Structure 1
Amino acid sequence: MNFRTAIDFPGNPGYIDHRQQILLLGSCFAENIGLWLQQRKFNVDINPFGTLYNPLSIAQSWERIVEGKTIIENELFAFNNLWHSYDHHSRFSGCDKKATLSLMNRRIEKIHRQVPNIDRIIITWGTAYVFRLKETGKVVANCHKQPASIFDRVLLSVDEIVSRWRDIIKHIENNLPQCRILFTVSPIRHLSDGAHGNQISKSTLLLAINRLQQEFGICDYFPSYEIMMDDLRDYR
């Protein structure tokens, strides 16, 4: 009996090689793939803002990288005796405000200098749900364990995601002609959304990526979600 559901996808030998500058952005799946590539001596940079999950926060991180736009003091806030940024993962948080700001900005400045040489951008979206600060409407990359009452939780639409990424991809096409974008959807379930909610979220991401592929020739898709959910499923 065959216990596999083999996933077919077009092969592209040489799509990634050791001569290229590769940037990975997104969820913890991007982190793990990036570390795997790093261990095998690929030239990679992994998540300059830390682990990010939703398409809008990842888009904002890319724009700040391109602009070299550093974090300013009033963008930090204090909670639980640490200074945080709503645009960063908690790994960047610290007890000293100036040191925290310096750590974030050194990282932004480093990757900003590398932008002209980037050949591949691997982007892993984890969820289509976002948290907006009620006070400002800002979409946050990380809530930093603050009370849920200060946020609105919203499911993005396919149109919202595509609209947000369309200008970014056009800019990459025009300014980084050597660059291609490889989208993936994290195979890690967000069960806090509920089993059905997780499927709606992942489906929204997949539909958005499909739209972007149809519009832009530089966009590719790797079926990590399908491989994990179907091919590697334990059928016992």
Structure 2
Amino acid sequence: MQFRTELTPDAFPRRISLTSRIVTIGSCFADVMGGRLADSKLPVLINPFGTVFNPISINKLITMALCGSEPDENGYLERDGIWFHYDFHSSLWAYSRNELKSRLLHTLSQTGEAIRQANYLFLTLGSAVVYRHRQSGEVVANCHKMPGSLFDKYLYQVDHLRDELMALVRTIRRANPALHIVLTVSPVRHTRDTLPVNQVSKSMLRLLAHELTIWRDGIHYFPAYELMIDDLRDYRFYEADLVHPNAQAHDYIFGKFAESAFDAELRAFVTDWQSVRQALAHRPLHGGNTLADRQFLTRLVTRLEKLADRVDTSVELLDVRSRLARIPAGCTDELDRQNA
């Protein structure tokens, strides 16, 4: 007897390899997926604009990055001595307008170049509910805790969302015709919009993601939303806020992603690397000054050096070697005598 419906995502038409270059952009789930990819030693630029939920802002930011245009001068604002921009997340801030502009231009340039060089672009769509700044008439990516009276909140019209995403695909294709686009709908529940509106919002995004995969080559949908809502389908897989998936859910979803998206060599490497990461996280019970600790770290250095021709292990090697250097000389002498 089965007590749940397990979802097995379709295999990617072109599998991700260890050398694939990746950019993730979108909602907070883009941070989660990007972090897991980085943990697997893949070269990835993670959500460079910060959390961006709606497709309108995603389109605006990527278009700016690829076309070399500057942020809207009317989008800058100051709050409590800190400068922000309505088109970017609050993680991008500065103490002056000029400093912020310089930072945003650098971020746009870096992102544009990364997308041009990337093999995969992950776009995670979070919500079709938008906030429009009344004075400028523009949809914003973030309200930056400004008074609600400055904005109109509403559900964006589906045909307009379709136009935004189609325009975005055309812009990306001109910049990097070979780029593979992976679409996901974020499994994070936007309960502040009410559950009925959240469901309508997610349904609209899912519809458009489906249409794009049908109408355009090189676009693949990964069912993160369905894995959370239909496969796991239990509140024990959520954080205490009952909105965000917890670490166990992230592990499950990323595991399904690896099965469908990674090539055989990368899957084998990830398995080996997880073992190395566990060793790196190991902390000794007795102060780390024993002969056994020295032997353990020496073996770990050897493992990292063998992987260095495939991935960058310089940070990990520096950490392990520094831990080795702190072991008393007596342990080193004993080990040297055993190896003699």
**Aligned partners of 2:49 and 2:235: how far apart in 1?**
37
Task: State the 1:35 CA deviation.
Answer: 0.8
- C-alpha change, 1:42 and 1:185, in structure 2 (3 Å) is same
**Aligned partners of 1:198 and 1:45: how far apart in 2?**
29
Moved more, 131-140 or 98-107: 98-107
**Aligned partners of 1:97 and 1:123: how far apart in 2?**
29
For residues 76-225 of structure 1, the aligned pairs below 5 Å read: 76-225=76-225
TM-score, with length taken from structure 1: 0.93
Larger RCO of the pair (alpha carbons < 8 Å, separation 6+): 1
**AA aligned opposite 2:90:** S
Task: State the 1:174 CA deviation.
Answer: 4.1
Q: How many residue pairs end up in the alignment?
A: 236
**AA aligned opposite 2:11:** G
**Aligned partners of 2:174 and 2:92: how far apart in 1?**
32
**AA aligned opposite 1:222:** F
Q: Which string of whole-angstrom CA distances, capped at 9 and with x for unpartnered residues, describes residues 7-59 of structure 1?
A: 13211275222222211010000001101101111111112211100010011
Partner of 2:226 in structure 1?
226
**Aligned partners of 1:72 and 1:137: how far apart in 2?**
12
**Aligned partners of 2:227 and 2:157: how far apart in 1?**
25
- Check conservation: 1:158, 1:207, Cα contact below 8 A: no
- Check conservation: 2:83, 2:93, Cα contact below 8 A: yes
Partner of 2:44 in structure 1?
44
**Aligned partners of 1:88 and 1:235: how far apart in 2?**
32
- C-alpha change, 1:88 and 1:235, in structure 2 (3 Å) is closer
**AA aligned opposite 1:209:** A
Task: State the 1:111 CA deviation.
Answer: 2.1
Select the structure of larger CA radius of gyration: 2
Structure 2: which 5+ runs fail to align?
A: 237-340
Partner of 2:266 in structure 1?
none
Give the number of the structure whose residues are more often strand, by fraction: 1
**Aligned partners of 2:85 and 2:174: how far apart in 1?**
31
Task: State the 1:137 CA deviation.
Answer: 1.0
**Aligned partners of 1:75 and 1:158: how far apart in 2?**
25
**Aligned partners of 1:156 and 1:78: how far apart in 2?**
27
**Aligned partners of 2:7 and 2:111: how far apart in 1?**
34
Q: Which string of whole-angstrom CA distances, capped at 9 and with x for unpartnered residues, describes residues 167-203 of structure 1?
A: 2212333442221111000000000011111111100
**Aligned partners of 1:235 and 1:99: how far apart in 2?**
44
**Aligned partners of 1:157 and 1:74: how far apart in 2?**
25
Moved more, 164-173 or 33-42: 164-173
- C-alpha change, 1:191 and 1:145, in structure 2 (3 Å) is same
Task: State the 1:231 CA deviation.
Answer: 1.1
TM-score, with length taken from structure 2: 0.65
**Aligned partners of 1:230 and 1:85: how far apart in 2?**
37
CA RMSD after TM alignment: 1.9
Partner of 1:70 in structure 2?
70
Task: State the 1:160 CA deviation.
Answer: 1.0
Give the number of the structure whose residues are more often helix, by fraction: 2
Task: State the 1:228 CA deviation.
Answer: 0.6
- Check conservation: 2:66, 2:175, Cα contact below 8 A: no
Find the residue that maps to 1:91 and give its secondary structure: coil
Task: State the 1:235 CA deviation.
Answer: 7.7
Q: Which string of whole-angstrom CA distances, capped at 9 and with x for unpartnered residues, describes residues 127-174 of structure 1?
A: 000000111210000000111111111211221111112122123334
Q: Percentage identity across aligned positions? A: 36
**Aligned partners of 1:176 and 1:4: how far apart in 2?**
41
